């Protein structure tokens, strides 16, 4: 009797907790700038793979990003977001186009974006102009690496500013993409494949 009670009541709570784990970053702040590239055909896939450009993240990731943005704001900058949570089905499409490269995570393992724990971003100034980071987003070459230092001093300073404050808020960089950051506490979260509703 006890066992039946446990199954009937715990299971629905578990499902609810999974869905409730993600938030739209817009629910936390109006101060982010958005350019969700995969909701347009202006990306390396050359096709639109999101119905609309929304930024969903796991709750703690979103909250930490909000705090980082508040800190950037005190310096006159704001975060501009290129990509957030990415459904596994989209990861599979990307893998078909660029299989076996460092730049697209194998969907069999899933990426931190599929876990809602990664964000692709840059900074804009008070006029909304992007800071010069040396390459565009999704530039698949060594110039986009953190280890590549043959760049103008200002570019190196801009990358350092982005990295220093995000590191402080527990976001980890990866060596090959200056725009990609992963929130440490949620990097092992479950892979998801839900798609968000469009307004
Ligand atoms: Zn990324």
How remote is the CA of residue 12 from the centroid of ligand 1, in Å? 32
56 inside domain: yes
109 inside domain: yes
Ion ligand 1 neighbours, Cβ < 5 Å = 120, 180
198 inside domain: no
142, 148 Cβ separation under 8 angstroms: yes
* Domain ranges, residue 172: 22-186
**pLDDT, one tens digit for every residue, the chain (199 residues):** 444 444 444 444 443 334 479 999 999 999 999 999 999 999 988 889 999 999 999 999 999 999 999 999 999 999 999 999 999 999 998 899 888 877 889 999 999 999 999 999 999 999 999 999 999 999 989 999 999 999 999 999 999 999 999 999 999 999 999 999 999 999 999 999 999 988 8
- Residues whose CB falls within 8 Å of the CB of residue 90, separated by 6 or more in sequence, listed in order: 38, 49, 50
How much of the chain is in helix, strand and coil states, percent to nearest 5? 35, 15, 45
Residue 20 burial by Cβ neighbours in a 10 Å radius (0-12, 13-18, 19+): exposed
How remote is the CA of residue 103 from the centroid of ligand 1, in Å? 9
How remote is the CA of residue 1 from the centroid of ligand 1, in Å? 48
Q: Please tell me the total count of domains within the chain.
A: 1
How remote is the CA of residue 178 from the centroid of ligand 1, in Å? 9
38 inside domain: yes
197 inside domain: no
How remote is the CA of residue 106 from the centroid of ligand 1, in Å? 13
Record the tokens describing residue 180, joined without a space. 């990609």
How remote is the CA of residue 28 from the centroid of ligand 1, in Å? 21
How remote is the CA of residue 73 from the centroid of ligand 1, in Å? 23
- Whether the full predicted model's pTM is greater than 0.85, yes or no, is yes
- The CATH number of the domain holding residue 98 is 3.30.1380.10
Altogether, the residues listed in the chain come to a count of 199
């Amino acid at each position: 009797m006890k066992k039946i009670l446990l199954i009937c009541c715990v299971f629905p709570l578990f499902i609810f907790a999974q869905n409730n784990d993600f938030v739209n970053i817009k629910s936390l702040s109006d101060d982010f700038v958005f350019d969700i590239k995969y909701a347009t055909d202006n990306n390396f896939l050359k096709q639109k793979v999101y119905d609309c450009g929304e930024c969903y993240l796991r709750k703690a990731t979103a909250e930490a990003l909000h705090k980082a943005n508040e800190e950037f704001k005190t310096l006159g900058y704001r975060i501009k977001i290129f990509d957030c949570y990415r459904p596994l089905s989209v990861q599979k499409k990307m893998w078909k186009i660029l299989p076996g490269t460092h730049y697209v995570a194998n969907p069999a393992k899933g990426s931190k974006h599929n876990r809602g724990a990664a964000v692709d971003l840059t900074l804009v100034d008070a006029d909304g102009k992007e800071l010069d980071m040396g390459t565009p987003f999704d530039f698949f070459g060594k110039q986009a690496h953190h280890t590549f230092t043959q760049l103008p001093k200002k570019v190196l300073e801009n990358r350092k500013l982005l990295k220093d404050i995000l590191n402080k808020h527990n976001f980890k960089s990866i060596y090959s993409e200056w725009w990609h950051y992963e929130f440490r506490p949620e990097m092992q979260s479950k892979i998801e494949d839900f798609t968000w509703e469009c307004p």
